[in-house]
Structure 1
Amino acid sequence: MYQPREQFQSGHRFAIEFGGAVLSFERVTDVLRRQWPVIATCVAAALTLVLVYLATAQPMYTANARIMMDTRQTQVLDKDSGTNSALIDTGFVDSQVEVINSDDLILSVVRRLHLTEDPDFNGSNPGALAVVLGKIMSLFESGEPPSQDRIEHAVVEAIQKNLRVERVLQTYVLSLSYKARSPDKAVKIANAIADAYIVGALEAKYQSTKRATEWLQQRSVELSEQATASDQAVQSFKAEHNIVGTSRGLMSEQQLSDLNTQLVQARAGTAEAKARLDRINAISDQDVAQTTVTDALNNPVITRLRAQYLDLQAQYSDWSRRYGATHQATINLANKMEELRKNIADEIHRIADAYRSDYEIAKSREASLDKNVKDLVAQAGHTGQAEVKLRDLESAADTYRNLYNNFLEKLQSATQNQSFPLSEARLISTATKPDRKSSPRTVLALIGGLVGGLCLGFGCAFAREFLSDVLRTPGEVEEELGVKCLGVLPDVRPPSKASALLSKSATGSAPDLSRYVVDHPFSRFAETLRNIKVSIDVARLTREIKVIGIVSSLPKEGKTTVAANFAQLIALTGHPTLLIDGDLHTRSLTRELAPNAKTGLVETLNDPASLGYHVQRSKETGLDFLPSVVASRLVNSADVIGSKAMAELLKSLREHYEYIVIDLAPVMPVADSKAFSPLIDAMVYVIEWGQTTRSALQESISGSEVLQKKLLGAVLNRANPKMLKRIEAYKGKHHNSYYVEHA
């Protein structure tokens, strides 16, 4: 597929890629220059709409009141509140906006102010637009009169439409603004809504506290009954299982502890008595008069007897030595000593009996205590499950009792709050009468209209440029085809039927476009065709160019007019020039220049020697014209125009003419031009300004590689003269001073 030539940009230019097109500063300037009427029209339309709106709009006045969410007021009765409790959740503040906008609150204001009787709300004084809309809506509604609820609901919707409630930045302040036709009414309704919100908040809190108090009272009675029943269940269970409590716990536990203590003491006493008994038994087997026995027993009787025994023993020793052991006195002393020994032994046996008795008593006491402890332990094992159940009952009783106490405290607090209601909201700024209207804002509306019109105009202008698929400038042609644009031909057709009739009446006949260069030799149209000739002459310096084809993508693009005028322009310069009507389908050129011709190109191809007979010459310009005359359309026109006979004819014509201009059939509908392209030296492509699409142009050129190579340049035809002046405004106001468009 044929590709357009690459775009080059100099380093000092700023350009960006936009939607496949290069959007540079120069391109933007060109778009604005070409499309400024569109921009001006959009701006004018926008300003006109704004002026109409300002002239017809009803002035509105806005009153503003401010409400603050302050929890510090509610801390008066809350002794446990800390510093953090004064903070309000932002979601709560935003929720209050919806509360103020709620239907119920607005409805209370409507009823209190009797707004259903106000002409601004009940529709008794409607505007023209409202009357028209009302008539239209009545066609779709029943004929029954509206109910009171429906009227009130309509007024509520009207107030909500003009009411605006918003949070002020990140503060706890709500801004309440109401817009009305009258400043007094705006103030009245704004303050009424603020008061209704404050009163509604107090009433809501009072009702909430009242409902909470009633619920707490009912719940407290239930909890009191449950606590009493739980206590009774504990006492009944204790009585049923013989569980007696003391200050130190259950009595069974206390008894077991005491018996354990006594048992330990009894076991210690038994051990002590056993030790004394064992000691006395050990002493009984020894000499009772020995010092160790006396010291061990530490008995005063034994000590006294032993002292007497020792005195007698000393005396006995003395008498035995003095009188002898057989002396009666010595024997008497021995007898006394034996008696003392017996007495000591008897005392020791008595003490042993006492120790034995104490030991038996201690053993009996220990056995008794041990038995009692075992009995209590056995009893405790039987009452273990009862104590578990008892603890559950006591826990339930404590829970109900604590709940009851808490609910009782909350009930007392709620009762106090009910008699002393406070709200988290307070009015910090009442609405005052506005001294100026809030809408419509004239200056802002005009600025907005101007900016909106400019934006719309720029959007439309660039949309027309970038969304349109047609060509209007030489740069676009060169970008699309990759060949030089040889010029822009203005539209020389009469602009309207009236102008055509005027031209016909002035000249006596309709203007002949096929000889426009003859009638207007100094016009821009003629000068552009001269530029095409100069470009061809420059190309002839490097290669032979005699056969020049004039072609277009589609019919009715003006190629026939261009071919006729171009050929006559060359003939006026004195060069031998032949113009051939190569469009065997429509033969438009023949109808314009030789409508009475009977023979032409087809006959010449059949008999080249008869060329002079078929060619017609213009006496005024010296142009030779070879028409095309056929009885009916040829089905093989492409074969005829690209035949060997045509090649031979052109070879013969090259010897007699310097320029051979051929008006070819359009490229897209038929294949004649593609078949003829190998026979020509150069081709000039005619593009209708603002009509030929890029897609059609690309499809036409890309269909034939030979045609691409033979393409010398393109020309934009039928350009709008007024638009052309805007496009070329950068050339200055004296650019067209050399042109004379009228003879």
Structure 2
Amino acid sequence: MNDWQTDKRQMASWEQPAGSEGPQQTLPLTEYLQLLWYRKKLILAITVFVAIVGWIHVNQIRSIYTASSTLLLGGQQTQPVEIDAVLKRDYWGDQVLAEMEVLKSRNLARKVVERLKLQNVPEFNPGLREPEEGLFDFLDYLDPRRWIPQSWKDAVKEAMGGETRVDPVEPPTGSEQEDLAKATATNILKGKIKVEEVEFAGVVIISVSSWDRNLAARIANEYPEAYIVDKLEARFEATEKANTWLSEQLAELETKVGESERAVEIFRDERGLGDVAGGGLLDRQLSELNSQLIVARAELAEIGARLEQIRLLNVGNTNRLATMTEVLSSPMIQQLRSQELEVLARQSELSLEFGPRHPRMLQVQAELGEIRERIELEVSNLIAGLENEADFARARITQLEAGIREVQGEFSEINQDAVQLRALEREAAANRALFETFLSRFKETSSTQGLETSDARVLSQAEVPGGPSYPNRRQQLTSIVLMGFLGACGLVIGLHFLNPGLRSPEQIRQSLGEYVLGVIPLVSSKAPMYDYVIDKPQSGAVEALNSLKFSLALSDPDIEMKAVQITSSVPEEGKTSLALSLARVEAASGKRVILVDGDLRRSSILRKLGMKPGHKGLSDLVVAGDVELEDYILRDEKGRMDIMPIGTAEYANAGDIFSSLRMEHILGQLKERYDLVVVDAPPVMAVA
């Protein structure tokens, strides 16, 4: 088997192994960096382009200047008169937030506009601005409507019946235009104001942004002044309103005081209440009657208790009755008791001499029974007397109660009139006190009117800013350049994945199961690589070609490498340049080298070497048969090697040449005459 067949076998070995899934798209970080470095020119070009466009855009952005002034809310003020103000002046806590809203209010912005006449400044009046040219204004000319002449548009409208008539709107008057301009300027100014609070300090910072640095400082200084004036005007108006209201209230209260005092006098005269204190006589009389009633009720209770005690005792038990106070206090009963004791004594003496049925004993018993009957009669009389006393006590109580009711009736009438009188007097006193309070407050507010001072003061005036607050051109341009660089890197990586292929020895080994024989670097020289290897024999490209030559020689150590066929998958992959470069490097080492052009469709060797086409070559040699090889060989003096061009004979298929026996015979002759035969074969996929 000759070298040509070995070359064909090596070509076939590049087929993708069965079961392979194709090239892997996942790249390690180092290969990403290599990819970005390989495309560094594209990345740099995109980054520079984006930077230029960004620089133009940033420089077209209008500069905005910000000035700030500082205002103290609720500052300690020395008041000429220490009087509680009609308005409550507490700016701490939520009041600070309320005052900040006042600073941001439309009313205050309108006053600043009027004081500085901002409606005449183009920044605050869009109608006074001149049209600005932007970076992309040229895109307006791409609108097809701008290409049509106005006369054509008018003709079309006239042909379609003319424009629809709309009732004309009456233009605004001069004052209306002025108000509209002020309203517009106010809206714009509100968007340019920023009010911030210094925490727990009662201090606010007023920041104003403007196209003009001087105007920004003027507005920032005008805002606190307008705020202070507005507060003073508000207090003055509030004092005016308070005085007016107090005057009205004083007039009404004065009328009420007079009416209430007259009502007291009229009521006192009508009811005869010259002195309400005269009701004390009835009080004393009622008190005496109540005291007598209490005594009478106590006596009745005592008599009732005695009667009840006597009734409960056995009337016949003279011994127990004798111990009662009423019995002891009765002379008749005491006398009868004495007689009873004497009779009992005689009865006791006679009982010693006589029996119970003796006449003298019977006489004594009869005398004793008579005495006891008389005692019982006296006790009955005593009970009757107590009952009479009880009846008298009840009558006395009834009489006293009637007297008390009579006095209470009189006292109630007097009290009702007195209560009504005191109510009228209290109303009159309240009206008088309220009148005096309002009169005092009216005098206070009248004395302080015109002496109003502001409890807010300016801590620091705004200074003219030295530079714009927006845009930060350096930062924006840096961001744009960074985004352009990252976008370019993303574009390179995206294009890499959109154009799949084998780009590294590892991918070739993993996908095809073959090892790479060599890697030829691109040269930065303007000269083609096949000239560069002659001009720079010590360059890295020459070393890479030598490595490729050694790899080819070691691919099959048992066979001497006499012929090399170089091909590619598709055209324009650099196979011809590689064939020329390899042949020239081998020739430069002193070997006899011939380069055979075998690309029937896209032959370019003669053109690359600057030789005229039309020379006889390989195709003519295959057709002619056994002839002298010198007639079909050209000399490359610069490369010190021979060249066999493709020739002028036409073949429909390159495979007819390379698979013919005549081709094998020609290669055999060439290998006998040369140390190395390099064949520039056509692309594999192009002729498949």
CA distance in 2, matches of 1:658, 1:287: 182
| CA pair 156-331 structure 1, distance change in 2 beyond 3 A | closer
In the alignment, is residue 468 of structure 1 matched against residue 501 of structure 2? no
Deviation at 1:599, TM superposition (A): 6.0
Deviation at 1:468, TM superposition (A): 1.9
Aligned to 2:69: 65
CA distance in 1, matches of 2:112, 2:439: 35
Aligned to 1:280: 311
CA distance in 2, matches of 1:334, 1:143: 148
| CA pair 466-179 structure 1, distance change in 2 beyond 3 A | closer
CA distance in 2, matches of 1:143, 1:610: 105
Which structure 2 residues correspond to residues 705-716 of structure 1 after superposition, within 5 A? none
CA distance in 2, matches of 1:210, 1:356: 88
In the alignment, is residue 104 of structure 1 matched against residue 115 of structure 2? no
Aligned to 2:196: 166
Give the percent of matched residue pairs that are identical in Structure 1 and Structure 2.
19
Deviation at 1:283, TM superposition (A): 0.6
Measured against aligned partners, the alpha-carbon deviations of 1:361-415 in whole angstroms (never above 9, x if no partner) come to 999xxxxxxxxxxxxxxxxxxxxxxxxxxxxxxxxxxxxxxxxxxx999999999
Which AA in structure 2 matches 1:516? D
Larger relative contact order, structure 1 or 2 (CA cutoff 8 Å, min sep 6): 2
| CA pair 32-562 structure 1, distance change in 2 beyond 3 A | closer
Residues 576 and 658 of structure 1 are in contact (CA less than 8 Å); yes or no, is this contact kept in structure 2?
A: yes
In the alignment, is residue 175 of structure 1 matched against residue 205 of structure 2? yes
Aligned to 1:88: 93
Which AA in structure 1 matches 2:336? L
| CA pair 569-64 structure 1, distance change in 2 beyond 3 A | closer
Scaled by the length of structure 2, what TM-score is found?
Answer: 0.54
In the alignment, is residue 490 of structure 1 matched against residue 524 of structure 2? yes
Residues 105 and 196 of structure 1 are in contact (CA less than 8 Å); yes or no, is this contact kept in structure 2?
A: yes
Aligned to 2:336: 305
Scaled by the length of structure 1, what TM-score is found?
Answer: 0.51
Deviation at 1:341, TM superposition (A): 0.6
CA distance in 1, matches of 2:675, 2:616: 26
| CA pair 549-336 structure 1, distance change in 2 beyond 3 A | farther
Which structure 2 residues correspond to residues 119-130 of structure 1 after superposition, within 5 A? none
Measured against aligned partners, the alpha-carbon deviations of 1:80-99 in whole angstroms (never above 9, x if no partner) come to x99xx87413xx64565554
SS at match of 1:596: coil
In the alignment, is residue 345 of structure 1 matched against residue 376 of structure 2? yes
Residues 601 and 628 of structure 1 are in contact (CA less than 8 Å); yes or no, is this contact kept in structure 2?
A: yes
Deviation at 1:577, TM superposition (A): 3.3
| CA pair 184-425 structure 1, distance change in 2 beyond 3 A | farther
Residues 594 and 641 of structure 2 are in contact (CA less than 8 Å); yes or no, is this contact kept in structure 1?
A: no
CA distance in 2, matches of 1:130, 1:553: 53
In the alignment, is residue 523 of structure 1 matched against residue 536 of structure 2? yes
Residues 489 and 525 of structure 1 are in contact (CA less than 8 Å); yes or no, is this contact kept in structure 2?
A: no
Deviation at 1:342, TM superposition (A): 0.6
CA distance in 1, matches of 2:563, 2:366: 191
Measured against aligned partners, the alpha-carbon deviations of 1:114-165 in whole angstroms (never above 9, x if no partner) come to 45567997799988969999xxx9x9xx998982233324544565566443
User: Superposition RMSD on alpha carbons, in Å?
Assistant: 6.7
Stretches of structure 2 that go unaligned for 5 or more consecutive residues are 1-21, 141-145, 147-168, 253-292, 395-433, 497-502, 510-515
Deviation at 1:192, TM superposition (A): 3.1
Deviation at 1:540, TM superposition (A): 1.5
Aligned to 2:618: 600
CA distance in 2, matches of 1:614, 1:355: 188
| CA pair 129-108 structure 1, distance change in 2 beyond 3 A | same
Deviation at 1:618, TM superposition (A): 2.1
Measured against aligned partners, the alpha-carbon deviations of 1:300-329 in whole angstroms (never above 9, x if no partner) come to 334553233113321443466579989998
CA distance in 2, matches of 1:603, 1:457: 61
| CA pair 529-203 structure 1, distance change in 2 beyond 3 A | same
Residues 64 and 211 of structure 2 are in contact (CA less than 8 Å); yes or no, is this contact kept in structure 1?
A: yes
| CA pair 588-155 structure 1, distance change in 2 beyond 3 A | same
More moved, 149-158 vs 349-358:
349-358
Residues 57 and 135 of structure 2 are in contact (CA less than 8 Å); yes or no, is this contact kept in structure 1?
A: no
Residues 582 and 664 of structure 1 are in contact (CA less than 8 Å); yes or no, is this contact kept in structure 2?
A: yes
| CA pair 570-152 structure 1, distance change in 2 beyond 3 A | same
Residues 567 and 623 of structure 1 are in contact (CA less than 8 Å); yes or no, is this contact kept in structure 2?
A: no
Aligned to 1:292: 320
Which AA in structure 1 matches 2:521? G
CA distance in 1, matches of 2:441, 2:102: 25
Aligned to 1:256: none
In the alignment, is residue 567 of structure 1 matched against residue 583 of structure 2? yes
In the alignment, is residue 587 of structure 1 matched against residue 621 of structure 2? no
Residues 632 and 644 of structure 2 are in contact (CA less than 8 Å); yes or no, is this contact kept in structure 1?
A: yes
Out of 623, 635, 643, the position equivalent to 1:618 is 635
| CA pair 29-327 structure 1, distance change in 2 beyond 3 A | same
Stretches of structure 1 that go unaligned for 5 or more consecutive residues are 8-16, 222-261, 364-406, 494-512, 676-743
| CA pair 328-417 structure 1, distance change in 2 beyond 3 A | same
In the alignment, is residue 535 of structure 1 matched against residue 563 of structure 2? no
Which AA in structure 2 matches 1:195? E
Residues 568 and 575 of structure 2 are in contact (CA less than 8 Å); yes or no, is this contact kept in structure 1?
A: yes
CA distance in 2, matches of 1:5, 1:647: 44
User: How many pairs does the alignment contain?
Assistant: 523
| CA pair 521-200 structure 1, distance change in 2 beyond 3 A | same
Deviation at 1:40, TM superposition (A): 8.3
Residues 590 and 628 of structure 1 are in contact (CA less than 8 Å); yes or no, is this contact kept in structure 2?
A: no
CA distance in 1, matches of 2:660, 2:302: 155
Residues 563 and 671 of structure 2 are in contact (CA less than 8 Å); yes or no, is this contact kept in structure 1?
A: no
CA distance in 2, matches of 1:159, 1:48: 29
| CA pair 554-416 structure 1, distance change in 2 beyond 3 A | farther
Which structure 2 residues correspond to residues 294-693 of structure 1 after superposition, within 5 A? 294-295=322-323, 299=327, 300-301=329-330, 302-318=333-349, 334-350=365-381, 426-429=456-459, 431=461, 434=463, 437-440=465-468, 456-457=480-481, 459-461=483-485, 463-465=487-489, 467-468=491-492, 483=516, 485-492=519-526, 516=531, 521-523=534-536, 528-529=541-542, 531-541=544-554, 543=556, 547-551=563-567, 555-589=571-605, 595-597=613-615, 600-601=618-619, 604=622, 612=629, 615-618=632-635, 620=637, 621-625=640-644, 627=646, 631=650, 634=652, 652=668, 656=672, 658-666=675-683, 670-672=685-687
Residues 76 and 455 of structure 2 are in contact (CA less than 8 Å); yes or no, is this contact kept in structure 1?
A: no
